[in-house]
Amino acid sequence: MKILVTGAAGFIGAALTKALLDRGDIVIGVDNHNDYYDPTLKDARLARFINHKAYTHLRMDIAAKEPMAAIFEKYRPQRVVNLAAQAGVRYSLENPSAYIDSNIVGFANILEGCRRTQVEHLVYASSSSVYGANTTYPFSLDQQVDHPISLYAATKKSNELMAHAYSHLYGIPTTGLRFFTVYGPWGRPDMALFKFTKSILEGAAIQLFNYGKHRRDFTYIDDVVEAILRVLDRPASADPLWTGAHPIPNTSSVPYRIYNIGSGKSVPLMQYVEAIEKALGLTARKEWLPAQPGDVPDTQSEMSDFIDQFKTCPTTDINEGVARFVEWYLSYTRG
């Protein structure tokens, strides 16, 4: 298939693009290479496949309306995976306009491109952050997600609503994936695993917000890529059981679906830290800090709907996944 992947130089986007190329697909990758974190890491991710004969890389911002429309017209992708977004909960407190531009305006451009070129299936990244102020665990797809506690979360919920409108109006199959704390090799420097590993190796204290009492559903990158591939290959369909009298939040009478993508386990932050310490053979210095605005205390995914539909689930153990990251990190930083 010919597949457009936005955010192709990002953590998940690069891993997915490589997997698509490895299985024989043609990929058009789009990324704006912004400096939210060090662009050299994005370049290093791309170096693994940028010269592949089936890959085309376009340095483009999805918020640019006319250039994005031209990409859809020129390449006519059969399917699209939108992973481009301004990421990060805390950064949204400092630079809200970046989230509106990329996550709202950019996503609207993606939807319009899909409409105009009759794309067979749009898969897009949502986030566990949409559960916001909810405190019933695990987070299930039948919960309402109307109380975001960060602008980032609000933009991701907006994406789900926008996708449903286009599925309803134009029959575009859309599937949103609510990712739960993705980690692993080639990960983002602003994420805890990268920051903690770097600090421990440098002898600096790691910052533990909420005094280290957070719990997170950590999902290994290979498991996430496998989930995306399975979803991509099965375009969303209408739910015959859906009615307006008894609406099901994650399905519809039109080709629209939402899935949680997590491990299904809620791991204490301190257990995560211990896994890093074990992999490094070092003990972290710790700085205990209060919770940050926009951070949810705990996350845990309820995965039964995805498992029922796709007969698979993430399986990578946290200790194994962290060890693989540390091995990659040492190799990457030490050459």
What positions carry a catalytic annotation? 152
Whole-angstrom CA distances from 113 to 36, 78, 288, 303 are: 26, 11, 47, 31
CA angle 228, 125, 140 (to 5 degrees): 85
Token pair 């990929």 is at which residue? 27
Q: How far apart are CA 167 and CA 256, in angstroms?
A: 6
Please check whether residue 8 is in contact with residue 30, taking contact to mean a CB–CB distance below 8 angstroms: yes
Q: How far apart are CA 91 and CA 77, in angstroms?
A: 32
The β-bridge partners of 30 are 6, 58
Q: Which amino acid, one-letter code, is at 153? A: A
Q: How far apart are CA 192 and CA 207, in angstroms?
A: 9
* 13 contact partners, CB below 8 Å, separation of at least 6: 5, 6, 7, 29, 31, 81, 83, 84
Q: Which amino acid, one-letter code, is at 164? A: H
Burial of 102 (0-12, 13-18, 19+ CB in 10 A): buried
Q: How far apart are CA 167 and CA 51, in angstroms?
A: 35
* 147 contact partners, CB below 8 Å, separation of at least 6: 132, 133, 134
Please check whether residue 231 is in contact with residue 177, taking contact to mean a CB–CB distance below 8 angstroms: yes
